Amino acid sequence: MKEKTLKILLENKGEFISGEYISEKLNISRSAVWKHIKAIKDEGYAIESVTKKGYKLIDYPDVMESEIIKSKLKTNIIGKEIIYFETIDSTNDYAKKIAKKSSEGTIVISEEQTKGKGRMGRFWHSSKKDGIYMSIILKPDILPNDAPIITQIAGLSVVKALNKLNVDAKIKWPNDILINNKKVCGILTEMSIEIDRIDYIVLGIGINVKTLDFSEDIKNIATSILKEGYNLNRLDIITLVLDEFENLYLDYINTKNKQIIANMCKEYSALIGKDIYVIQFNDRKRAKCIDINKEGNLIVQYEDGSIKELISGEVSI
């Protein structure tokens, strides 16, 4: 009942809800309502109580439990099922284990990861309550070759959500999110394929929200949302990212329109028009980034004038 009381307060954040309304809705006594409100306050929620008006939720602590996320989500499939951990090795690894029997849109989220995985076998620093570490299980009816589009959609949803929260974030192709040219979010997509169809995709999203100390090896290239001066709540970021993701994902699955995705990737790109380095086989070559084509590939022009389409790989600014 405490969770249900909290759900009502969250749904009406900023507005007074009378004790009478809560007691009738949950079929509990007024004193039981008061007891639950007290317990919720003790967990760090700021609630104003005014005689004859009731209770108003003013602010909530930065917690991410499943029920709280669900109560804020506007989605239909993404996040219908949320599996929450205080700690786990990697949300992607767990999601892969349960993917076959899970329904599309299931989310695995953890307060920390002890073996967070990055792309190319790298480690993803995932310290407790500093970031968002989540994996989304998807079962799209698309060709395996088109799976990179889903990763781009994830990048777009993070960047659009952050922009809505007034954070000036951009995408560094293929799908790193940057603030002030430093990486704040990475995406690791893993999938299981059967001949010409996708069995499942596990879309892992890691966002540095409050991290202030980065290890020596990454401190010049990594940052967090807080480090760049934005003090945001993880819950607000997660719910906006998932709302954005569902809209873009369902639009794409229904229309298969890659051009719309490519246009958005261009709009939010940190690279278009810039001089960059293309890193291939331990070698880096100077090039100008000129476009992102319909397939989501990066078009670059090298110093000798030749124009190339990059399908995958790494670039740096």
Closest approach of ligand BTN to the CB of residue 314, in Å:
10
Query: For residues 211-270, which are near ligand BTN according to CB under 6 A?
Result: none
Do residues 136 and 202 make contact, with C-beta atoms less than 8 angstroms apart? yes
> Any contact of residue 135 with ligand BTN (CB under 6 A)?
yes
> Any contact of residue 186 with ligand BTN (CB under 6 A)?
yes
> Any contact of residue 155 with ligand BTN (CB under 6 A)?
no
Closest approach of ligand BTN to the CB of residue 178, in Å:
11
Q: Which tokens go with 8?
A: 């009502």
Would you say 19 or 186 has its CB closer to ligand BTN?
186
Residues with Cβ within 8 Å of residue 233, at least 6 apart in sequence: 60, 62
Closest approach of ligand BTN to the CB of residue 56, in Å:
35
Pick the piece of the chain touching ligand BTN (CB under 6 A) from 61-69, 180-188, 216-224, 253-261: 180-188
Pick the piece of the chain touching ligand BTN (CB under 6 A) from 23-31, 117-125, 223-231, 267-275: 117-125
CA distance 186 to 176: 5
Residues with Cβ within 8 Å of residue 223, at least 6 apart in sequence: 179, 180, 182, 183, 184, 208, 214
Question: Using CB under 6 A, which of 45, 84, 133, 252 touches ligand BTN?
Answer: 133
Would you say 54 or 131 has its CB closer to ligand BTN?
131
Would you say 56 or 119 has its CB closer to ligand BTN?
119
CA distance 109 to 68: 13
CA distance 146 to 166: 31
DSSP character for 103? P
Instruction: Using the Cα atoms of residue 7, residue 232, residue 138 and residue 90 in order, give the sign of their dihedral.
Output: negative
Q: Under rule CB under 6 A, how many of the chain's residues touch ligand BTN? A: 20
CA distance 126 to 89: 10
Pick the piece of the chain touching ligand BTN (CB under 6 A) from 13-21, 119-127, 144-152, 238-246: 119-127
Would you state the torsion angle of the CA atoms of residues 255, 256, 258, 263, taken in this order, to the nearest 10 degrees?
20
Closest approach of ligand BTN to the CB of residue 57, in Å:
29
Of 146, 156, 130, 308, nearest to 213 by C-alpha is 130
Do residues 241 and 161 make contact, with C-beta atoms less than 8 angstroms apart? yes
**Rg (the chain; Cα; Å):** 22
Q: Which amino acid is at 230?
A: Y
Draw the binding track, 8-47, toward ligand BTN (x: CB under 6 A; -: no contact).
Answer: ----------------------------------------
Question: Using CB under 6 A, which of 36, 72, 96, 117 touches ligand BTN?
Answer: 117
> Any contact of residue 119 with ligand BTN (CB under 6 A)?
yes
> Any contact of residue 92 with ligand BTN (CB under 6 A)?
yes
Q: Which residues bind ligand BTN (CB under 6 A)?
A: 90-92, 113, 116-119, 122, 124, 133-135, 176, 186-188, 204-206
